[in-house]
């Protein structure tokens, strides 16, 4: 959600900004803009739409500038128009501001500034910052920005460029992510490391309350009280190849196919080199005496947490509840010093999850982050962290991070059971042996792709699709439905199959495809009975099953998508694969923007 980039060096700033904004497109946005200083003058170009529209507006004549800031905006205050696109400027067009987050007290600030004579030209909360900085600027831009953000309420990351100070970019952060970086002969800012891959050799994440100035020679950061901050620079280790499509049509397709590796890496890091035992860095600090667990998460991460409910209730005999993070604060969760809270988030920046973490900590829970990116806000505010090793995920629809979350959560549950019991739980060896085979089984599961592609042609005109499952596959039904609606814009619902006759059965007719996840095991026969009920109402049944040759199933299903047989942690992961492929190919058949679906953002940093 909103992307920030900045460059100060010796090369063409505008080209760098455009290239970096393209790398941040995955975060989700609806307008883009840049501001640079050319021959002592601040030049600003903004466009509603995509970065390519901004590129077209810039034309073929390069701007002679070596310093600039750029932004992709996801509209919160004001429609996605040229006028509301960032950067925003002060009355004289000398100071440009880009901003990620929300200035909650923008209305009183705007009134006060307007009374003082400032003239506004957008509906955004951001523009107040430009005018506020203008009103406080007495020649010391850094100090003016510090005083301005001190008056602002809410969560934000800000970058400021002034034509009176062409040798620096000023930055400030509270809540929303911001990194500064150094490379050969240049310094950078960004809201996310991928924008700087191949350019910055080291980066530093700003902590909340920090602000600073970025010059051609490096950066200087300060705490809110003005004290210089040393901080810890991180070497940039991600490979720029990770943010290229590598021959696939979309990032989502590439990321679906990366799952043998992303799940494999996530497992490998948490098991001993022999594969015979568990080894989870970070788990040793979790107190062993917790008597109940809350998982807090949003969207797809919430579905992974719901899978963990089932896996943990098996592995650890303690009550475990997955709660949608934005709801967590609106109830009165039972939190004591013996509560373990696990915050699940691929980005580590989701504001709802972060707020749930803060609440849990303030009430004395032990909070563990399960995140895909190190140094994220959720990790920093938790007591400890466990990582998924999915690599950077560009497609807005989460795929490889979801399956990596299930793997990591499953292993975390087993490791905690081992720590509490003092010895490996019975069956740990078998479970780990099965997990060692999982990457190969994912490769096998992906072989269904051509069949899914053909099926997608049949489903592309559906207006409603139901996903039904029982037990640990119920959250996979939820995830299958979410994936389909996110990228194909077809309405879809996931339900526990046992609930069908309590309501959703009313939806079933010959135009309603019903995806039924039928895994061998205790719920299998009941699922087949549900299939009979759907068929009796002329529903179109797609069975996703690890018993694809069972004559009873074949008789009832209009289509069967096979899944390799498995148990435990592997089962929900393998059943996810055909559903991801289905969502992908239905979206492709409908011609939607698969990697950047409408209205969605990859990282949701507003409540
Ligand atoms: C997944 O496809 C979605 N884009 C979305 O539901 C996402 O999972 C959710 O916003 C949580 O994000 P996080 O994992 O970064 O916290």
pLDDT tens per residue, range 180-213: 999 988 999 998 888 888 889 988 888 889 999 9
In sequence order, what are the beta bridge partners of 469? Answer: 496
Q: Omega of the bond prior to 87 within 30 degrees of 0, cis?
A: yes
Q: What separation in Å is there between the alpha carbon of 301 and the centre of ligand 1?
A: 6
Q: What separation in Å is there between the alpha carbon of 274 and the centre of ligand 1?
A: 34
- Domain annotation covers residue 441: no
Same domain, 8 and 134: yes
Atom of ligand 1 nearest to the CA of 300: 8
Residue 532 has what pLDDT?
A: 94
Which of 604, 605, 606 has most ligand 1 atoms within 8 Å of CB, for mutation? 604
Ligand 1 neighbour 396 (Cβ under 6 A): yes
**Residues spanned by the domain of 103:** 3-239
- Domain annotation covers residue 606: no
In whole angstroms, give the CA distance from residue 508 to residue 474. Answer: 19
- Domain annotation covers residue 104: yes
Same domain, 195 and 178: yes
Digit-coded pLDDT (tens) for 154-167: 888 999 999 999 99
Ligand 1 neighbour 372 (Cβ under 6 A): no
Ligand 1 neighbour 392 (Cβ under 6 A): no
Which of the four pLDDT bands, split at 50, 70 and 90, describes residue 239?
low
Which of the four pLDDT bands, split at 50, 70 and 90, describes residue 25?
confident
For residue 508, give the H/E element and its range: none
Same domain, 114 and 228: yes
In whole angstroms, give the CA distance from residue 301 to residue 369. Answer: 12
Task: State mean pLDDT over 285-314.
Answer: 95
In sequence order, what are the beta bridge partners of 221? Answer: 212, 229
Digit-coded pLDDT (tens) for 492-511: 999 999 998 898 888 888 88
Percentage of the chain beyond pLDDT 70 is 99
Ligand 1 neighbour 350 (Cβ under 6 A): yes
Same domain, 367 and 472: no
Residue closest via CA to ligand 1's atom 2 equals 397
HSE at residue 411, side-chain half, CA atoms within 13 A, is 35
Mean residue pLDDT across the chain = 92
SS3 label, residue 307: helix
Number of domains within the chain: 3
- The domain boundary, picked from 386, 409, 436, lies at 436
Choice among 22, 50, 400, 602 that is catalytic? 602
To the nearest 10°, report the CA torsion of 127, 130, 134, 139: 180
Region class of 456: left (phi > 0), else alpha (psi between -120 and 50), else beta = alpha
Task: State mean pLDDT over 329-337.
Answer: 91
Ligand 1 neighbour 345 (Cβ under 6 A): yes
Sequence length of the chain is: 607
Task: State mean pLDDT over 478-496.
Answer: 97
Question: What would the two tokens of residue 314 be?
Answer: 């098996």
- Among the residues of 322-399, which ranges form H helices? 325-328, 351-362, 377-380
Question: What would the two tokens of residue 371 be?
Answer: 């995140």
Of 68, 91, 73, which Cα lies nearest the Cα of 25?
73
Of 477, 481, 482, 500, which Cα lies nearest the Cα of 572?
477
Task: State mean pLDDT over 43-54.
Answer: 94
Q: Are 32 and 47 in contact (CB under 8 A)?
A: yes
Which of the four pLDDT bands, split at 50, 70 and 90, describes residue 219?
very high
Q: What separation in Å is there between the alpha carbon of 482 and the centre of ligand 1?
A: 10
- Domain annotation covers residue 432: yes
Atom of ligand 1 nearest to the CA of 601: 4
Same domain, 289 and 400: yes
SS3 label, residue 318: coil
pLDDT at 152 over 70: yes
If you ran DSSP here, which 8-state letter would residue 523 be given?
T
Q: What separation in Å is there between the alpha carbon of 483 and the centre of ligand 1?
A: 11
Q: What is the CATH number of the domain that holds 382?
A: 3.40.50.10490
- Domain annotation covers residue 601: no
Residue 298 annotated among the catalytic residues of the structure: no
Question: What would the two tokens of residue 542 be?
Answer: 């797609």
pLDDT at 238 over 80: no
Ligand 1 neighbour 145 (Cβ under 6 A): no
Ligand 1 neighbour 604 (Cβ under 6 A): yes
Task: State mean pLDDT over 124-135.
Answer: 95
Same domain, 361 and 402: yes
Same domain, 250 and 233: no
- Among the residues of 316-392, which ranges form H helices? 325-328, 351-362, 377-380
Q: Tokens 């440009």 — which residue?
A: 96
- Please measure the distance between the N-terminal and C-terminal CA atoms of the chain and give it in whole angstroms: 12
Task: State mean pLDDT over 34-40.
Answer: 95
Same domain, 196 and 52: yes
Task: State mean pLDDT over 250-263.
Answer: 94
pLDDT at 545 over 80: yes
Q: What separation in Å is there between the alpha carbon of 303 and the centre of ligand 1?
A: 10
SS3 label, residue 87: coil
Same domain, 78 and 204: yes
DSSP string over 140-168? -HHHHHHHHHHH--EEEEEEEEETT-TT-
- Domain annotation covers residue 596: no
Residue 323 has what pLDDT?
A: 98
Q: What is the CATH number of the domain that holds 78?
A: 3.60.20.10
Digit-coded pLDDT (tens) for 337-372: 999 999 999 999 899 999 999 999 999 999 999 999
Same domain, 319 and 340: yes
- Among the residues of 235-386, which ranges form H helices? 251-257, 259-269, 299-315, 325-328, 351-362, 377-380
Residue closest via CA to ligand 1's atom 16 equals 345
In whole angstroms, give the CA distance from residue 366 to residue 436. Answer: 31
If you ran DSSP here, which 8-state letter would residue 271 be given?
B
Residue 240 has what pLDDT?
A: 66
- Give 41's contacts (C-beta < 8 A, 6+ positions apart): 163
Residue 270 annotated among the catalytic residues of the structure: no
- Domain annotation covers residue 595: no
Radius of gyration of the CA atoms of the chain, in A: 25
- Give 286's contacts (C-beta < 8 A, 6+ positions apart): 340, 366, 368, 383, 384, 416, 419
Ligand 1 neighbour 397 (Cβ under 6 A): yes
In whole angstroms, give the CA distance from residue 87 to residue 67. Answer: 14
CB atoms within 10 A of CB 318: 17
Same domain, 65 and 173: yes
Q: Are 556 and 532 in contact (CB under 8 A)?
A: yes
Same domain, 232 and 248: no
pLDDT at 176 over 70: yes
Q: What separation in Å is there between the alpha carbon of 406 and the centre of ligand 1?
A: 14
CA 211 to chain centre: 25
Q: What separation in Å is there between the alpha carbon of 398 and the centre of ligand 1?
A: 6
Sheet with 186-190, side-by-side order of all strands: 41-48, 31-38, 67-73, 3-8, 186-190, 179-183, 202-205, 234-235
Sheet with 339-345, side-by-side order of all strands: 320-324, 292-297, 339-345, 366-371, 384-387
Ligand 1 neighbour 301 (Cβ under 6 A): yes
Of 216, 220, 195, which Cα lies nearest the Cα of 37?
216
- Domain annotation covers residue 579: yes
In sequence order, what are the beta bridge partners of 43? Answer: 36
- The domain boundary, picked from 401, 436, 471, lies at 436
């Amino acid at each position: 959600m909103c992307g920030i980039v900045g460059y100060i060096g010796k090369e063409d700033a505008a080209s760098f900004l455009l290239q970096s904004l393209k790398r941040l497109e995955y975060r989700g946005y609806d307008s883009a803009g840049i501001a640079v200083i050319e021959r002592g003058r601040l030049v600003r170009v903004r466009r509603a739409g995509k970065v390519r529209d901004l590129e077209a507006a810039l034309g073929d004549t390069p701007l002679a500038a070596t310093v600039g800031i750029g932004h992709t905006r996801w509209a919160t205050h004001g429609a996605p128009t040229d006028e509301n696109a960032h950067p925003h400027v002060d009355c004289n067009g000398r100071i440009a501001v880009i901003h990620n987050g929300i200035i909650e007290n923008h209305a009183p600030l705007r009134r006060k500034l307007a009374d003082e004579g400032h003239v506004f030209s957008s509906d955004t909360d951001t523009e107040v910052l430009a005018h506020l900085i203008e009103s406080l600027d007495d020649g010391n831009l850094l100090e003016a920005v510090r005083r301005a953000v001190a008056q602002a309420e809410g969560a934000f990351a800000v970058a400021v460029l002034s034509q009176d100070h062409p040798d620096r970019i000023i930055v400030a952060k509270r809540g929303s992510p911001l990194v500064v970086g150094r490379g050969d002969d240049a310094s950078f800012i960004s809201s996310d490391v991928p924008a700087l891959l191949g350019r910055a050799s080291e980066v530093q994440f700003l902590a909340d309350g920090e602000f600073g100035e970025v010059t051609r020679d490096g950066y200087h950061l300060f705490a809110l009280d003005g004290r210089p901050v040393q901080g810890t620079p991180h070497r940039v280790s991600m490979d720029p190849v990770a943010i290229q499509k590598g021959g696939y049509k979309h990032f989502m397709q590439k990321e679906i196919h990366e799952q043998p590796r992303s799940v494999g890496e996530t497992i490998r890091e948490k098991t001993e080199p022999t594969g015979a035992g568990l080894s989870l860095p970070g788990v040793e600090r979790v107190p062993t005496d917790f008597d109940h667990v809350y998982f807090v998460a949003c969207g797809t991460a919430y579905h992974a947490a719901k899978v963990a409910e089932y896996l943990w209730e098996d592995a650890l005999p303690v009550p475990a509840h997955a709660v949608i993070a934005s709801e967590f604060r609106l109830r009165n969760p039972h939190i004591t010093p013996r509560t373990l809270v696990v915050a699940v988030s691929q980005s580590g920046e989701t504001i709802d999850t972060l707020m749930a973490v803060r609440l849990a900590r303030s009430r004395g829970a032990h909070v563990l982050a399960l995140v895909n990116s190190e140094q994220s806000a959720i990790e920093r505010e938790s007591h400890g962290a466990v990582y998924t090793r999915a690599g950077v995920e560009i497609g807005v629809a989460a795929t490889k991070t979801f399956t990596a979350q299930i793997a990591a959560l499953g292993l975390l549950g087993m490791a905690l059971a081992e720590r509490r019991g003092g010895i490996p739980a019975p069956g740990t060896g078998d479970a780990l042996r099965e997990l060692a085979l999982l990457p190969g089984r994912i490769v096998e599961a992906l072989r269904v792709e051509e069949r899914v592609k053909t099926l997608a042609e049949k489903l592309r005109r559906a207006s409603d699709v139901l996903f039904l499952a029982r037990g640990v596959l119920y959250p996979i039904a939820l995830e299958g439905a979410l994936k389909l609606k996110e990228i194909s814009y077809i309405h879809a619902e996931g339900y526990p199959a046992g609930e069908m006759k309590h309501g959703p059965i009313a939806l079933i007719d010959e135009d309603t495809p019903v995806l039924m996840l039928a895994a061998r095991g205790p719920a299998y026969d009941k699922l087949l009975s549900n299939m009979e009920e759907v068929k009796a109402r002329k529903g179109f049944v797609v069975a996703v099953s690890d018993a694809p040759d069972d004559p009873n199933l074949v008789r009832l299903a209009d289509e069967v998508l096979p899944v390799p047989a498995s148990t435990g942690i592997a089962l929900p992961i393998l059943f996810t694969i055909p559903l991801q492929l289905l969502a992908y190919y239905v979206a492709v058949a409908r011609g939607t923007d698969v990697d950047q679906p409408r209205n969605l953002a990859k990282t949701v940093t507003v409540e």
